Amino acid sequence: MIATKNSNDISLIGVPLQLGANRSGVDMGPTAIRSLNIQARLEALGFRVRDWGDIEVNRLQDRCDSDEKLKYLAEIARVNTKLAEVVAQEMGKGRLPLVIGGDHSIAIGTIKGVLQHVNKLGVIWFDAHSDVNTEFTTTSGNIHGMSLAVLLGHGHPSLTSIGGAHKKLDPRNVVIIGARSIDPGERLFLKEQGIRVFTMHDIDKYGMKTVMDEALERVSAGTDGFHLSLDLDGMDPREAPGVGTPVKGGISYRESHFAMEYLHEHGALVSAEIVEVNPMLDVNNKTAKCAVDLAGSLFGERIL
């Protein structure tokens, strides 16, 4: 049985990976999110939640070679290969995968796993960044800034081949929301690919409802459902301070909740991930609490 839209069965999968960000702390994100009772929160909404546990990560790999263009490539590829297998396995049981990270490089494994079952997948990418660098445009070598490019089929073969190189996203069904820090090489890539990017200027100008209406139209056009990739740095740092790459002027708390509530109402979610919660940089676990609150709204919590 394949996971379907509106499944009442959720598999919670932790990925304590920080190598894609090359910054300590984000590997503790899954523990921080679990500590705020995300499983009980979802079960209170009527879901049957199975906590799969964490994908094993080699945490002793604390440095990379100076001549390594893409930092920690081998371990990141290994972790994402395993993640893709687990996601595909859980979807095959009719369960909706909810992956908690961990840095945003884990989106590679999550979405590659989903693509084993959902050939035509839309993706909503909530993020301050566009994450479409490649080894030719990156200035940092950090793979969490390349994950969306990989999923579109552009990047190192060790990453694009995960789950099969032919399993990739159609850029016409990908939407980025909340962007406000885009590298020059990424701007060119986004234009060439024709990816719809809603910057903070667009949200300010048109409002979140208009943005979400167009976003949902694009990710639903000819697809069999959509995936949500929720990076907490998409929110304003005043709301979510515990992220590795904060950018001021982000999405507000209420705008974020409205977006999650709107996605739930649409009813076509097949998978999701929540990434970049870094407890070492957080204030009183505020960012992890935002993550759990937003998950609640995504899965049906309402004010009334």
- Catalytic residue annotation: 104, 127, 129, 131, 144, 231, 233, 276
What are φ and ψ of residue 30, in 5° steps?
A: -60, -40
Q: What is the 3-state secondary structure (H, E, C) of the chain?
A: CCCCCCCCEEEEEEECCCCCCCCCCHHHHHHHHHHCCHHHHHHCCCCEEEEEEECCCCCCCCCCCCCCCCCCHHHHHHHHHHHHHHHHHHHHCCCEEEEEECCHHHHHHHHHHHCCCCCCCEEEEECCECCCCCCCCCCCCCHHHCHHHHHCCCCCHHHHCCCCCCCCCCHHHEEEEEECECCHHHHHHHHHHCCEEEEHHHHHHHCHHHHHHHHHHHHHCCCCCEEEEEEHHHECCCCCCCCCCCCCCCECHHHHHHHHHHHHHHCCEEEEEEECCCHHHCCCCHHHHHHHHHHHHHCCCCCC
CB 84 within 8 A of CB 113: yes
CB 30 within 8 A of CB 16: yes
